[in-house]
Chain A
Amino acid sequence: MNDPSEYSRRKFLFKISLLVNGAVGAILAVPVLGYVLGPILKRNLSYNYWVPVGNLEQFPAGETRLGQYRNPDGTPADGQTRTLPCWVRHIANNQFQVFAVNCAHMDCPVHWFPASKLFMCPCHGGVYYENGAVAAGPPPRGLYEYKYKVVGDQLMIWAGELPTLSTEASIAKPGRSPCQG
């Protein structure tokens, strides 16, 4: 029973069993991690699609109106969250600016006030001009802006991702001077 050779063999077998279990665990971890990290393994670009925001007649020239689009990656289980808003500014002659409703500070929804021509954020007081440039408050940049194109009488935007400072999904920072708009 106290035979050292027997003892060492058992010890060796035990170590082998640990090794085998470790290997099996590592193999098992691959699909598990792949599943958990699935959302970040997908390439960013594939999240965005050209989606319709509405007919051009819904957005009169010189005005900023709330547009809506369907999340291109959505499912019926999304319910109401599948329909997303955006602010559409029709400058003139089918020249548009389409903004995300999310404040660049903390992603709260900004409201448009046509009389004062300002976007105001209810959370921490961020204010933007009609061209999306920061007017006041803590936002580190102007409103996020979607790429757009006009297809027939439809306004389409390149969207599908929640805009944040890392996932801007925008063409660029908005124009520097509202006078240019």
Chain B
Amino acid sequence: MPGVKQTGLNLYHWFDRRLGLAKPITEAAEHPIPKSSSSWWYVFGSAAAVILVLQVMTGILLALVYTPTARDAWNSLNFLDHGVTLGWFLRALHGWGSDFMVAIVLIHMCQVFMFGAYKFPRELTWIVGVFLLLMTLGMAFTGQVLRFDQDAYWGLGIGASIMGRVPWIGSELVHLVLGGPIIGATTVSRFFALHVFVIPGILISLVGVHVWMVLRLGITEWPMPGRLVRRSTYVREYEAEVHKDGVPFVPYAAWKDALFAAAVLLAIMACALFFGPMGPTGPPDPTIIQTVPKPDVPFLWIYALFALMPPKLETPILLIAPIVVICVMLALPLYAGEGEKHWSRRPVAVLMVTVIALSLSVLTRLASKAPWSPVMNAWSADAIQPAFLQGRTPLERQGAIVFQQMQCRNCHSLDGVGGKRGPELDRVATRMTESQMIRQVLQGGGNMPAYGSALSPQQVTALVSFLETMRGSERPAQVGSGKSMPTGPAGMSGGVERLSEPHFSSEVSENPSVRRSVMDHQSTVVLIWLAAAISLLVLIQVGVLGALFLMLLRVRLTVRQIEGKLRASGVDLYDLAGKSYRLLGTLETAAKKGAEIVESLEQGLTEIQSRLARVDQSIRNQIAQIKRGSEALKHALADPVIRFRAIAAAISAALEAFRRRPQNGPREHNC
């Protein structure tokens, strides 16, 4: 094993000597980030990058089988689903991965916006991010086209129709998008090139630039209220924070990114497994017109907008709004590159995100229901309920059949069954008189076609009689109290009279002012709700801002009052403030100096203490030395003293003996 390990190391060193990537990769992985940034809120960008890798991988695998021609694309998709092992799962992964990628990129963008992370010095990171969003949406749309089924075919028609609205160069743009005058082989191969080469190339390059800037400029710190971004100080402050409180990206934050990316991948796999691949719907045969085309989820809100916008504003909005929105997004960091980052100090930003998210959600939800579209098969698919026929006269029963056969049901519902484009007709007889109903059927108006040429007088009578029975026991509408109807031409106001002359004039229903002025009922309701919701939000926000403004105004007024009173009493507030400020400055300087003195005193005391300690120690050492010397001296002197004492004692004994000697001899001599 050690041999294998050594071989591995040798290989690693062999490559690294030539590539030299180990060091920069390690440095990138361990680049310091603010400790506050190792949060779960910072995981969306890396998750989007991981999904991009998944999309590239599954895309390459699908390209092994997919045939990018108008003739064979649909068949190859079916072959992938049914003839290739796990082909359906790969398709499902790619399709769900696309939806997840759009969602995660949008969430990432919201998070960056709410955290003010686009501000200095990360403006270009945001701008590149805007292009990444556009490229992601471009991938979603071109991918939908490559799933070349009925929806894709008619979706291309919608795209061409939008291009066709561009003034002056509309036809050129249509031909450029379709690769020719009509949807065909060149269209599919063109979108294949866009989806597989052009957009991914741009996307991957921009991701590289985006990540490079994230590494170079550092991950933004967790925003704090009151901590303003200033171009002059931000970089220094950020570096100081990272230096003081930073942690390496790997492993402190990376584990959260990795875990979230794994969770997202699992979610994509789960969706792919449980819901399967998206489409293909019917074959892309334009002669099969019994189809109800709808775009994929990321574009449903646009589909709803087309139905709800006032027709006259459609083209200007379609052509101008996207450019304005993109320009605003690009200009945002350049306009608001400094200042507050925290969301609690940016109410307009919070309001914008809320309104946009709410609007997109509501529009997407509406588009999934599409109440503005007639239910094309309601007249043949939804049976006449027996209850509508029981107890009715033959004429009324015939009216029920007319209601069914004339496709009234495609737009109007009875007992909740049928289209939602027009108002439900259960209680129409309580709102309109018989003659008003007849006129409405014959002449149309209010966004309803005129049926004058399609219905015989007898059919109209039967239809109205049937609708009269639907009100049950409720009171019928009174003349003059019903819904106001569009005014018909002179001499055509009486419905009964019109019955005797069963041709109709389209002038009323075709009159643009009548047709355009009355929005579809459902659309109007939806628009009103949407407008009400947005207005409510705006009102709340305006209220909050207004209250804040009033509070500030109040504070300002109070300050002015105090200022006036002080001035009246001879006190100049500004002078006082200036003096106070200077005093504060002096006090601050004094305090700083005091602190310095205290610090130096402390240092001196410490020095003295240490010196005293050293002196004390040396004295102790000297005392110990003296003690040792005296001991040694004592010891050294002890022996001579004893001897001296012994000699002294001997001398003393000798003297005593001499004194006690016998008294002869010498005494005589002395005398």
**Complex CA–CA separation, A111 to B183 (angstroms):** 20
Chain B: which residue is nearest A69 at the CB level?
A: B287
Chain A: which residue is nearest B178 at the CB level?
A: A162
**Complex CA–CA separation, A61 to B351 (angstroms):** 61
B374 engages A115 (CB within 8 Å): no
Interface string of B437-480 (1 = CB under 8 A from A): 00000001001111101100000000000000000000000000
Chain A residues within an 8 Å CB radius of B291:
109, 122
Choice from A85, A123, A160, A165 contacting B181 with Cβ under 8 Å: A160
Interface string of B262-299 (1 = CB under 8 A from A): 00000000000000000000011111011111000000
Within 8 A of A (CB), among B173-213: 173-176, 178-186
9-residue interface stretch from B12-20, B134-142, B228-236, B504-512 = B504-512
Chain B: which residue is nearest A82 at the CB level?
A: B184
B306 engages A105 (CB within 8 Å): yes
For the complex, is B525 an interface residue (Cβ under 8 Å from A)? Answer: no
A116 engages B71 (CB within 8 Å): no
In angstroms, how far is the closest chain B Cβ from the Cβ of A84? 5
**Complex CA–CA separation, A176 to B291 (angstroms):** 29
A117 engages B374 (CB within 8 Å): no
In angstroms, how far is the closest chain A Cβ from the Cβ of B648? 107
Given A83-B286, A116-B451, A120-B407: A108 and B157 interface contact (C-beta under 8 Å):
yes
In angstroms, how far is the closest chain B Cβ from the Cβ of A114? 9
For the complex, is A101 an interface residue (Cβ under 8 Å from B)? Answer: yes
Choice from A39, A115, A134 contacting B176 with Cβ under 8 Å: A39
Chain B residues within an 8 Å CB radius of A40:
171-173, 175-176
Given A37-B176, A135-B449, A138-B307: A101 and B289 interface contact (C-beta under 8 Å):
yes
Given A77-B70, A101-B289, A136-B447: A120 and B307 interface contact (C-beta under 8 Å):
no
Interface string of A61-90 (1 = CB under 8 A from B): 000001010010111111111111100000
B374 engages A140 (CB within 8 Å): no
Given A106-B157, A167-B164, A167-B174: A71 and B373 interface contact (C-beta under 8 Å):
no
A44 engages B421 (CB within 8 Å): no
A134 engages B515 (CB within 8 Å): yes
For the complex, is A24 an interface residue (Cβ under 8 Å from B)? Answer: no
A47 engages B165 (CB within 8 Å): no
Given A78-B71, A81-B70, A166-B164: A117 and B183 interface contact (C-beta under 8 Å):
no
Chain B residues within an 8 Å CB radius of A140:
311, 314-315
**Complex CA–CA separation, A138 to B516 (angstroms):** 8
Given A115-B454, A162-B178: A177 and B158 interface contact (C-beta under 8 Å):
no
For the complex, is A53 an interface residue (Cβ under 8 Å from B)? Answer: no
Within 8 A of B (CB), among A47-65: 47
For the complex, is B92 an interface residue (Cβ under 8 Å from A)? Answer: no
Chain B residues within an 8 Å CB radius of A110:
289
Given A78-B71, A115-B406, A140-B314: A125 and B182 interface contact (C-beta under 8 Å):
no
Chain B residues within an 8 Å CB radius of A160:
181-182
A73 engages B289 (CB within 8 Å): no
A116 engages B166 (CB within 8 Å): no
For the complex, is A118 an interface residue (Cβ under 8 Å from B)? Answer: yes
Chain B: which residue is nearest A159 at the CB level?
A: B182
**Complex CA–CA separation, A84 to B211 (angstroms):** 48
Chain B residues within an 8 Å CB radius of A71:
182, 184
Given A113-B407, A138-B311, A161-B182: A81 and B164 interface contact (C-beta under 8 Å):
no
For the complex, is A95 an interface residue (Cβ under 8 Å from B)? Answer: no
Chain B residues within an 8 Å CB radius of A122:
291-293, 373-374, 376
**Complex CA–CA separation, A101 to B288 (angstroms):** 11
In angstroms, how far is the closest chain B Cβ from the Cβ of A132? 11
29 residue pairs from A and B, CB less than 8 Å apart: A40-B173, A77-B184, A81-B182, A83-B287, A84-B287, A85-B289, A102-B161, A106-B162, A110-B289, A111-B289, A116-B408, A116-B451, A118-B449, A118-B454, A120-B374, A120-B407, A122-B293, A122-B373, A124-B306, A136-B520, A138-B314, A140-B314, A162-B178, A164-B161, A165-B164, A166-B166, A166-B170, A167-B171, A179-B504
Q: Tell me the A residues contacting B by CB distance below 8 Å.
A: 37, 39-40, 42, 44, 47, 66, 68, 71, 73-85, 101-102, 105-111, 113, 115-118, 120, 122-125, 127, 129-130, 133-140, 160-162, 164-167, 176-179
